[in-house]
């Protein structure tokens, strides 16, 4: 596999970029005990792109209200198993690719439940690439990221990128079971893995690195890990996050536990 990654560029400005029709878009939301956020996300999405394919994937949450919510918004509902555990390697990304290729569209956008869609996209890239907001430093420890990572609030894939990743089988690779030697190559990601969970964003980063897929900064997407994204004049079609502090107890608890584990691990001198 190719370890060389193309230099980051800007999506929506090169050859092949164009405005998508609704029926050329697939949005995929992965849900787990976040019904209120998912309701608001789907409402914003359907106001702007009523004709897009939408897939709601339960990651091990069997709440019967998920099926009702999907039906209300004309979305496909997939009752999936919990795949965020590090023992599952890249299965969580592989599931996304598999679902998309059942009914492929030119673009796939994987969004979080606290992501909001404010308007239609003016242009999406062509070719084989993954696009969104590029992060060039880790959030907690500010380590440089080379290659960068597409922030997970909105990760866009062209169909050619989905097909390349799927054909290469990178997310089925047993190499991902050894997280320290594969996707978890920073202190931030190692702390997450020590807490027992994979990072969807960094798994995608690793897969793109293995297959030589380009990572593009998209000017209509603005996603941060936390904080407020200002959107004057609807500059951005998609923003993230839209989560209040009281909606994040599991996040803070998992970070605290990961930090405790990391501090308890003896460091080499």
Q: Tens digit of pLDDT for each residue in 51-86?
A: 999 999 999 999 999 999 999 999 999 999 999 999
Return the closest-CA partner of residue 170 out of 81, 83, 100, 93.
93
% of the chain beyond a pLDDT of 70: 85
What local confidence, expressed as pLDDT, does residue 257 receive?
60
The domain locations on the chain are: 9-13+21-255
pLDDT for 13 beyond 70: no
63, 91 in Cβ contact below 8 A?
A: no
pLDDT for 11 beyond 90: no
What local confidence, expressed as pLDDT, does residue 147 receive?
96
What local confidence, expressed as pLDDT, does residue 269 receive?
47
CATH number for domain 9-13+21-255, candidates 3.40.1370.10, 3.30.1330.60, 3.40.50.10300, 3.90.550.10: 3.90.550.10
pLDDT tens digits, 171-199 = 999 999 999 999 999 999 999 999 999 99
What local confidence, expressed as pLDDT, does residue 243 receive?
83
SS3 label, residue 136: strand
pLDDT confidence bin for 3, thresholds 50/70/90: very low
pLDDT confidence bin for 7, thresholds 50/70/90: very low
Q: What is the mean pLDDT of residues 202-211?
A: 98
pLDDT for 1 beyond 70: no
Residue 143, strand partner residues: none
Give dist(CA 52, CA 198) in Å, integer: 29
Q: What is the mean pLDDT of residues 157-167?
A: 98
153, 224 in Cβ contact below 8 A?
A: yes
SS3 label, residue 68: helix
């Amino acid at each position: 596999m190719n370890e060389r990654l193309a230099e980051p560029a800007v999506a929506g400005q090169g050859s092949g970029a164009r405005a998508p029709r609704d029926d050329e878009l697939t949005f995929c939301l992965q849900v787990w005990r976040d019904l209120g956020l998912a309701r608001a996300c789907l409402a914003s999405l359907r106001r702007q792109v009523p004709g897009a394919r939408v897939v709601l994937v339960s990651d091990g949450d069997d709440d019967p209200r998920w099926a009702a919510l999907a039906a209300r918004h004309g979305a496909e509902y997939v009752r999936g198993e919990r795949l965020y555990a590090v023992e599952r390697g890249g299965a969580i990304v592989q599931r996304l690719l598999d679902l998309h290729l059942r009914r492929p569209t030119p673009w796939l956008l994987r969004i979080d439940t606290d992501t909001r869609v404010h308007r239609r996209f003016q242009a999406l890239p062509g070719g084989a690439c993954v696009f969104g907001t590029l992060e060039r430093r880790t959030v907690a420890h500010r380590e440089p990221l080379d290659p960068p990572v597409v922030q997970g609030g909105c990760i866009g894939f062209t169909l050619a990128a989905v097909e390349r990743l799927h054909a290469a089988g990178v997310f089925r690779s047993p190499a991902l079971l050894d997280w320290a030697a594969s996707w978890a190559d920073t202190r931030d990601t190692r702390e997450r893995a020590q807490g027992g969970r994979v990072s969807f964003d960094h798994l995608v980063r690793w897969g793109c690195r293995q297959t030589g897929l380009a990572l593009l900064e998209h000017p209509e997407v603005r996603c941060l890990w936390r904080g407020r994204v200002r959107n004057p004049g609807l500059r951005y079609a998609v923003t993230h996050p839209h989560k209040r502090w009281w909606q994040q107890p599991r996040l803070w608890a998992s970070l605290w536990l990961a930090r405790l584990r990391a501090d308890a691990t003896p460091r080499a001198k």
